[in-house]
Amino acid sequence: MFYRLSGLLALLVLLAAPTHAQLITDPARAAAARDTLLQQAAQLRLHAEQTSPIFNTNARARGRRRVVVQGISHQNSGTLPNDGVRQTQWAPDNIAWRHVTRYRRDGRVQERYRLSAGHQMLLNERRLNGAVIWLSVPVAYTSVPGMVVRHRGLFLRTGYVMLDKDQYVLPKSLQ
């Protein structure tokens, strides 16, 4: 008796749940959404790395299996005191980025790239042997000068793309 009631309750919950957006299966639109998201991520990375006057790395010795490169992108980078040491004070318009590369013993190269402004994540990306396997741009607008974030989205290597509020499925030939 209890199992019948719980099954009926589960069916009612599923029927009463709001319907989700329909997946768009048009290959041309799905490829355009994927390319838009990948291009925006490349522009965000390029802007953050070009405006970073100083970055840190742990790759002082050859043969390291984990290499971490990180920096802070100073939008107003004219803050050199008289002693010549650059101040690394955090300002709200600064962007912090971190690129972690892991070289596995079986030959795989895993990369993780994170980009954030303040407490707001702008980009989170994972790569395997140079191919993007997961990409997330969680915000569609940022108040950081010089940064242009027009779309928010998510890309998965399995062929799913979410750009703004539309969800796409890439065909196997385009993955």
pLDDT of 118 reads 77
pLDDT of 119 reads 79
In a domain, 4, yes or no: no
In a domain, 63, yes or no: no
pLDDT of 55 reads 81
Q: Please name the residues in contact with 60: beta carbons below 8 A apart, sequence gap of 6 or more.
A: none
Structure tokens at 141: 């607008």
Is pLDDT above 80 for 128? yes
* Amino acid at residue number 128: L
Structure tokens at 156: 């998965």
State the Cα–Cα distance between residues 34 and 160, nearest whole angstrom. Answer: 9
The pLDDT tens digits of the residues spanning 15-73 come to 444 445 678 888 999 999 999 999 999 988 988 888 888 788 886 666 678 889 899 87
In a domain, 73, yes or no: no
The pLDDT tens digits of the residues spanning 75-124 come to 654 444 444 444 445 455 678 899 999 999 999 999 999 998 877 888 99
∠ CA 90-92-97, nearest 5°, is 65
Q: Which domain holds residue 120?
A: 20-51+95-175
Q: Count of domains in the chain? A: 1
State the Cα–Cα distance between residues 48 and 155, nearest whole angstrom. Answer: 21
State the Cα–Cα distance between residues 10 and 12, nearest whole angstrom. Answer: 5
In a domain, 44, yes or no: yes
pLDDT of 144 reads 65
- Beta-strand runs (E) in the chain: 55-57, 66-73, 95-103, 109-117, 120-128, 131-137, 153-156, 160-163, 166-169
